[in-house]
Amino acid sequence: MNAASIGYTSLAGKRMIQIQNCYLEAVFVTADGTYVGGEDEEGLKNYVVVKQSVEPNTEIKVTYKKDEEGNEYDNLTDWQSIEKIDLLVKKVGDVDPQVDLVTTTPTPDKYTQYVRSYVGKNLYSAGYISLGGNLMDAYGQGYVQLNPVAEDGSYIDTTDETVLKQYVITGQNVEPNTEIEYVFRKKDDGTEYDNLVESQSISAITLNVKSISGQPVVSTKDSGSSAS
């Protein structure tokens, strides 16, 4: 499919695919790590999908939130077994890239998540910039901080999306599909909160990255000049 025909752009600038009452985030991956964003409708028209990390007809399991009487809401999901799908894209007319995509194990319940594969992705595509200026990725009801380390030792300003878009991920210190276990906070009556994680077995992942251009990357936030 043409990349522009897939899903829609959310208010957060992510490309989302609606499947009944659940939503999948589509993460576009290129052979050289160039950033392809879901917010650029015209730019997406130049790309076609050649591989996907989740096979067609894969089952997505969903549980729904409940009201005070224990009845399920029709459209408020509490957990879903798959949250993201990686889509390998190429420019229309180009030869198919020889790149494999790693499939992340679907989660069995809200207490268990599995580390995603980040290698080959553009750094900005790996997650989102939090209000605190950290690069984060959402895993169910929890979050993992992504700590990029440049191969040449350059400082990476995680608050600057222009900088993040100029790096490709070459390695990660936690293997894909490593299990992340959650413990949820409890109310005074002993029941669990739906969305408050008290502890998790993995809270941060180090990502090895390199400049896509091979040149040093400079943050432009203070200088106002264009990045290298």
State the amino acid at position 146 in one-letter form.
L
Collapse the DSSP code of 175 into the 3-class scheme (helix H, G, I; strand E, B; otherwise coil) and give the result. coil
Q: The tokens of 188 are what?
A: 């005074």
- State residue 225's pLDDT score: 46
Bridge partners (DSSP) of residue 194 are none
The Cα-based distances of 158 to 131, 145, 173, 218 in angstroms read 11, 11, 18, 12
Question: Virtual CA dihedral for 142, 126, 150, 133, nearest 10 degrees?
Answer: -60
- Give the integer Cα–Cα distance in Å for 208 and 197: 28
- Give the integer Cα–Cα distance in Å for 137 and 199: 16
User: Parallel, antiparallel, or unpaired: how do β-strands 112-114 and 179-186 relate?
Assistant: antiparallel
- Give the integer Cα–Cα distance in Å for 159 and 168: 17
pTM of the predicted protein model: 0.90
Q: pLDDT truncated to tens, each residue of the chain (228 aa)?
A: 999 999 999 988 899 999 988 899 999 999 999 999 888 889 999 999 999 999 999 999 998 887 777 788 877 888 899 999 999 999 999 999 999 999 999 999 999 999 999 999 999 999 999 999 999 999 999 999 999 999 999 999 999 999 999 999 999 999 999 999 999 999 988 888 888 999 999 999 999 999 998 887 877 765 554 443
- Residue pair 106/97 in contact by the 8 Å Cβ criterion: no
Bridge partners (DSSP) of residue 184 are 197
